Amino acid sequence: MKNVLVYAEHRRGETRKVTFELASEAGKIAAALGGKAHAVVVGPGSAQLAEQLKNYPLDTIFVNEDADVEAFLLDPIVDYLEAAARIAGPSLILIPNTLSGRDVAGRLMVRLDAGMVADVVEVKPDSGAVVCVSPKLGGALITQCALRTADYGVVTVRPNAFAVESGGAGAHVEQIAMPGPKSYPAAIDRDVEEGAGELALEEAPVVVAGGRGLGGPEPFETLLKPLARALGGAVGASRAAADAGWVPYNLQIGQTGKTVTPALYIAVGISGAIQHKVGMRASGTIVAINKDAASPIGEFSDLLVVGDAFRIVPELTKLIETAKGNLS
Amino acid sequence: MKIVVTIKLVPNPNAEKRIDPQTKRLVRTGVETVLNPYDEYALEAALQLKERAGGDATVTIFSMAPDSLKEGLRRALAMGADDAVVLSDEALEGSDVSATAFAMAAALKTLKFDLLVVGGLTDDSSTGAVPGALAEHLGLPCITNARKVEIKGDAIEVERETDSGYQMVHGPLPALLTTALTFGEPRYASLKGIMGAKKKSIASISLQDLSLDHPVGTSGSKTELRSFAPPPVRGKGQVVEASDGLSGAQAIFDFLAVKRLV
């Protein structure tokens, strides 16, 4: 594999930061391998996203506005990615580690008889191989897995793992032919967006998470949301809070929930059981607020403040807002 | 209706994992083997669909596991599955995700089913690639992350969660389905279920029963595990006792300011 291919996941041309992270890193990996970096953007809105991607170190951006991409469940996307991969030859395909990214990756692995590494946080080209660094067993192990350059390689990449660095020679946008004739068995009848405009938890630079210690759903709105807003971050929760129905499951961090790696993680009223730890242990800085000095979260927090979260959090929000006000 | 659910046996996710610094291997002592948590949700969904279908609907467990671990599937049988089929073969050891999906698919081809329910992720390796890979090998529609399912004759209607909301999807049977956690909490096995599970069949098949045109195990794998190590140790940090709200807030603010996080 010499070339690198990025799957640009989007919705009507709107994408998430991870797409730009992948595009930035693809250019670097391709340069190290002596090949080229390309992106595949398909479905309505592709042209709009392709324009944005021109600012990244890519060579060709394959596009097709094919409406079938919205009408059928992932099948057309897999077909287009396969077609682009065949054009590029044995290549490394970077796919975001998202719900649909994982589905796409598994299918593409079979189509291309590719090697596959999941949840990758670092890619290191090595002679005859591409070594992928990835945490396993809930982060208890950091593995280094080699893909052979003779094969196709499919990797799912953890959001927040790579830096966004624009700059490129002006990629050219190329229409990719509609693969066909194919039949798509799973049809999408309705696609409903909820919580639009909210920062995706996995990509947030700051996560303020609440647990059992908050005692109910209201403090997530009245305490955590204002603090997250002041810090430019997102609100998350422990499993206890999600199981109690205080927040939807898509905010749950940890085993059977999401894995996040923000620069700053603030755990409020979370004891820090292993099943929560596995979802946030790789965060940059961890601050915990807990009334119990002996709670396990203290064992892996950079700062544990023992006290009443209901009093501390509003004061902290005020301090941050004041500091921000002084700067602007 | 015949439903097959895939189940992986994994080290207990709630146990702290340690790597022996000498052998560099996972310390298994004291870590029990359990059903992969996502697969328990898949099984719960399958059992609900079986109950709704009534009649002669069945749920069969399929697992790829060493023979020594297969009794771990009794728990799934106690929850209400009818029987289990285990693919066991020493030659499967060292299989990566592509070899694993290939071998699983070959074995699943020998089972007749209308619906294949797969957990969305495994707790240990968590590639999340197996459902898509199985669908591809078996030529099945791949409908993932379902929170509501209706079987209508030979068609399936699904409400599935997406990263930003939900979708209504339909497709033909047979199909592959993965379930969202919101489908329903896995049930506890009843005493009657536990007693009944002792009499249920756990059939074993080996690679000899499948005519594979492709190697599996380490030689059939496309990836090579070069090394593994525990993550950098995250030491215990500072602890501050806050007598009131403001002093606690100030302690955090000052800490973050030093790190240029505010």
H or E stretch covering A113: none
- Name the percent of chain B in helix, strand, coil, to the closest 5: 30, 30, 40
Output phi, psi for A325, to 5 deg: -60, -40
Count residue pairs from A and B with Cβ separation < 8 A: 297
Q: Which residues of A touch B230 (CB under 8 A)?
A: 140-142
CA angle A16, A19, A22 (to 5 degrees): 145
CA distance B19 to chain A (A): 8
Output phi, psi for A44, to 5 deg: -55, 135
Q: What is the pLDDT of residue B48?
A: 97
Any idea what DSSP says for residue A252?
B
Measured CA to CA, the distance from residue A305 to residue B240 in angstroms comes to 5
Which residues numbered 178-217 in B keep a CB inside 8 Å of some CB on A? 180-182
CA distance B183 to chain A (A): 11
CA–CA distances in Å: residue B232 to residues A123, B15, B32:
19, 19, 25
Helix or strand or coil: residue A106? helix
Nearest to A255 among B13, B243, B262 (CB): B13
Q: Do A186 and B171 touch (CB under 8 A)?
A: yes
CA A82 to chain centre: 22
A110 pLDDT band, cuts 50/70/90, is: very high
Q: What is the pLDDT of residue B27?
A: 75
Chain A: residue whose CA lies nearest to B127: A118
Q: What is the pLDDT of residue A181?
A: 73
Instruction: List the domains of chain A with CATH numbers.
Output: 3-175 (3.40.50.620), 201-327 (3.40.50.1220)
Tens digits of residue pLDDT in B77-119: 999 999 999 999 999 988 999 999 999 999 999 999 999 999 9
Q: Which residues of B touch A105 (CB under 8 A)?
A: 127-129, 132
Q: Are strands B9-11 and B33-35 parallel, antiparallel or unpaired?
A: antiparallel
Cβ proximity of A116 and A130 under 8 Å: no
Q: What is the pLDDT of residue A325?
A: 85
Q: Low-confidence residues of chain B, pLDDT below 70?
A: 23-26
Tens digits of residue pLDDT in A219-252: 999 999 999 999 999 999 999 999 999 998 889 9
Q: What is the pLDDT of residue B24?
A: 62
Q: Tell me the mean pLDDT in the region A278-286.
A: 94
Q: Do A306 and B239 touch (CB under 8 A)?
A: yes
Cβ proximity of A192 and A48 under 8 Å: no
Amino acid at A140: A
Any idea what DSSP says for residue B153?
T
Q: Where are the domains of chain B?
A: 2-220
pTM for this model (two decimals): 0.91
Q: Do A156 and B241 touch (CB under 8 A)?
A: no
**Above 80 in pLDDT, residue A169?**
no
Q: What is the CATH number of domain B2-220?
A: 3.40.50.620
Cis peptide leading into B174, omega within 30 of 0?
yes
Q: Which residues of B touch A320 (CB under 8 A)?
A: 253, 262
| Cα-Cα-Cα-Cα dihedral sign, residues A299, A301, A305, A310 | negative
Q: Do A303 and B96 touch (CB under 8 A)?
A: no
DSSP B105-145: HHHHTTS--SEEEE-S--SSS----HHHHHHHHHT--EEEE
Q: What is the pLDDT of residue A195?
A: 65
H or E stretch covering A128: none
